[in-house]
Chain A
């Protein structure tokens, strides 16, 4: 996206003020509103669709497969497809890498264990139908919803199959299927990413496409288990733009990013959970 010099200047001057004046007057810790639905793909174990008011949209499916634990180093596979980008492009590869590393570092893998020999493997496929600002946050929130509503069939054969060679068998009754939370016996909350824009001494949650153009730097922070986690890294959020304003990052930025994430991300998780509770699962996509 190309802005005119006057627009850039206006935006920059507004955002470096203290407190920053964002174009839509959002608070620094305020995300843009989202619309979401879950469980609309009958042939997937979990699914979610998330859309921003500006039209950015992401669909996520979670599918499971029973594998021999010993033969499978990787029980989670993330794939990202962005409309208009090649699968081997840098943009897609970076998103995929970030999401994989987020989930691999912060996931209760014991929930996938079936028997001594077998495990579930989860395939998480993300489709970004249209993207405006950097789509990492919206994808990771869609993954949150999809994983949270994922149901896995109940095992009816023996758990201990070390000595007896047998294929695991499952209950035919979908009502018996368990969510990952039920499988771990705890309140399972998948990790999410939040993107922050850095400008002046301020940090902005969920920068919009226009804001990204004038940012001095960007941060992606993961949130899991009630607090900020790794991976945490800086990134140039604006695509195809000249980096006129791009600057280094101060350590204070990182410290305040972590404290902001600690303070406000719990609310985002809460909002996502509330949506799942309200979703009556009528299977409608739109």
Chain B
């Protein structure tokens, strides 16, 4: 038995010491990233050229544009903005996010999505039992807690962003909605790379939702209802209707088209997990630690990197070892080496 099996205590690593040598390396590999590395700081004059419009992270004073944050300058068309090095998640329309309900209000839920303000989810923006097309009734308003209550996790899409920067969400697709059968973790939002698809099936019967806001959901791949990638609503409804047959959920009392359909769609608001075998639970912990390692190494998180990290982690038979700094660094190194090799081939 080794001490490091029980605890590992280390001196804080001084990250800044690596700067010098990585400097040389980076300038070779990233010749096109010259603009990326020019940092501006608050109060710095970015431009006095009047053709530019001021964007986020800048302010306008006496015909000049100044930076208001420390970050990289971005020039898109005529829009000049400064992207801060760090900061809260800023929602944009169409973002796939994971959130947690913080408050149930009048016809709306408030959802923590890691942004400056809680997002709003309107009662009218969710699918309710009884089919997608039915009208919301007063009884729905009275039983909002039966659908979603404080603490519940859901995945949703940003429907629109208000002028003050807060977001409104919707879950009107069966790929969105309440989350079950898994575990939640967060990473800094800038590490999640935007892509077409944020729900991924991983090997070992595990799925991951990489919310653009840095909230991540790891779960057992659902056996029932839908395929994750396509949002074929009509097909899914039939599928879930079949699966849900024979189960009864309390709280049913609203107007419905057919009884069968209503019972089935209550499923989407159930708090009950499916049976999850031990092997899947073990696999989830491995993915959990791999994602934390990628986050520790500040690597952008994609499904390919998670898979590569997972492969790299297999050298550690004891998954619990992956919490140590050395192991996390090793995994990040392996992922980067792996990517470089692929790039060269």
- The answer to whether any beta carbons of A and B sit under 8 Å apart in the complex is yes
B8 touches A34 (CB 8 A): yes
B271 touches A30 (CB 8 A): no
Q: Separation in Å of the A238 CB from the closest CB of chain B? A: 14
Q: Which residues of A contact B325 (CB under 8 A)?
A: 33, 53
Check: A4 CB closer than 8 A to any chain B CB: yes
What is the total number of residues of chain A having a CB less than 8 Å from a CB of chain B?
A: 42
B7 touches A13 (CB 8 A): no
Q: Which of B1, B11, B278, B320 contacts A25 (CB 8 A)?
A: B320
A23 touches B12 (CB 8 A): no
Stretch at the interface among A59-67, A149-157, A229-237, A272-280: A272-280
B273 touches A274 (CB 8 A): no
Q: Report whether over half of chain A's contact residues are helix, strand or loop; otherwise say mixed.
A: mixed
Q: How distant is the Cα of A267 from the Cα of B151 in the complex, in angstroms? A: 38
A2 touches B8 (CB 8 A): no
Q: How distant is the Cα of A34 from the Cα of B278 in the complex, in angstroms? A: 29
Check: A158 CB closer than 8 A to any chain B CB: no
- Chain B contact residues (Cβ within 8 angstroms of A): what range? 35 or more
Given known pairs A2-B150, A27-B320, the reply for A36 and B11 (CB within 8 Å) is yes
Check: A70 CB closer than 8 A to any chain B CB: no
Given known pairs A9-B272, A23-B183, the reply for A286 and B6 (CB within 8 Å) is no
Q: Which residues of B contact A274 (CB under 8 A)?
A: 3, 9
Q: Which residues of B contact A169 (CB under 8 A)?
A: none
Q: Report whether over half of chain B's contact residues are helix, strand or loop; otherwise say mixed.
A: mixed
Residues of chain B in range 207-221 having any CB-CB distance to chain A below 8 Å: none
Check: A7 CB closer than 8 A to any chain B CB: yes
B286 touches A271 (CB 8 A): no
Given known pairs A6-B153, A25-B285, A274-B9, the reply for A33 and B183 (CB within 8 Å) is no
Q: How distant is the Cα of A35 from the Cα of B323 in the complex, in angstroms? A: 13
Q: Separation in Å of the B138 CB from the closest CB of chain A? A: 26
Given known pairs A5-B271, A33-B323, the reply for A22 and B285 (CB within 8 Å) is yes
Q: How distant is the Cα of A7 from the Cα of B178 in the complex, in angstroms? A: 11
Closest to A17 in B: B278
Given known pairs A25-B320, A26-B323, A35-B12, the reply for A9 and B7 (CB within 8 Å) is no
Q: Which residues of B contact A286 (CB under 8 A)?
A: 12
Q: Which of A13, A205, A272 contacts B9 (CB 8 A)?
A: A272
Given known pairs A2-B151, A4-B153, the reply for A30 and B320 (CB within 8 Å) is yes
A14 touches B281 (CB 8 A): yes
Q: Separation in Å of the B278 CB from the closest CB of chain A? A: 6
B153 touches A37 (CB 8 A): no
Q: Which residues of A contact B178 (CB under 8 A)?
A: 4, 6
Q: How distant is the Cα of A116 from the Cα of B4 in the complex, in angstroms? A: 45
Q: Which residues of A contact B150 (CB under 8 A)?
A: 2
Q: Which residues of A contact B323 (CB under 8 A)?
A: 24-26, 30, 32-33, 53
Residues of chain A in range 129-176 having any CB-CB distance to chain B below 8 Å: none
